[in-house]
Structure 1
Amino acid sequence: MSIFKTRQNKKFSYTPRYYKGEENPFEIKHKFEEHRKTVGKVGLKGKFENAWDDYKNSPDASVKKRTLIIIGILVFIFLLIIGFDLSIFFPKG
């Protein structure tokens, strides 16, 4: 027993009983790995480019509308926080 040596973990060659696939059953994958490019390990610029491509080429047409609504709500909340006079948006009556 040496003070500076760490114990090695035991290794077992376990195979699950009812597993019939070709892949490794113990490999942990991301949920959307097969469907999107943005999951891979790319730099920050690459992630933004991949996300932008997914956004532009999305089959769902309501994505752009939903994005604009979310951005509008966030801008409105930001204007309320900084104390912007919102009365210019409403007609005087």
Structure 2
Amino acid sequence: MGIIGKRKNKKFDYQPRYYKGEGSPFELKHKFDEYRVTVGNNNGLKNKFGNAIDDYKYNGDKTGANRRILYIIAALILVFLFIIDFDLSIFSLKR
């Protein structure tokens, strides 16, 4: 520490040479944040779950990804039941 006091940090006004975009190039933002309802100022767990459910309901699944995931999970469950030698005949109607 000197006689004068603490040294202040230098401030630089850096401008990127080849950046020709809008806004600040140093701002970190996800490219889909403006389309999401669940990102932002959500106060409380109930509000977060409500926003997530509304987003799931009103933004339809156009690619069929949810159905595909359900098929994969069902196939993995059947493979697991086959590996542990589970008797699937209990699901049949014959008694």
For the aligned pair, the TM-score class normalised by the smaller chain equals 0.5 to 0.7
2:55 maps to: 54
TM-score by length of 1: 0.57
Among all aligned residue pairs of Structure 1 and Structure 2, give the percentage whose two residues are the same amino acid: 54
Aligned-residue CA RMSD in angstroms? 3.9
CA distance in 2, matches of 1:6, 1:50: 49
Unaligned ranges ≥5, structure 1: 77-85
Q: CA deviation at 1:28?
A: 0.4
Using a 3 Å threshold, how does the CA distance of structure 1 residues 90 and 61 change in structure 2: closer, same or farther? farther
SS in 1 for 2:17: coil
Q: CA deviation at 1:57?
A: 1.0
SS in 2 for 1:34: helix
CA distance in 2, matches of 1:10, 1:21: 27
Question: Highest relative contact order (Cα 8 Å, sep 6+), 1 or 2?
Answer: 2
TM-score by length of 2: 0.56
2:34 maps to: 34
2:84 maps to: none
- The number of residues matched between the two structures is 85
Structure index of larger Rg:
2
Q: CA deviation at 1:34?
A: 1.8
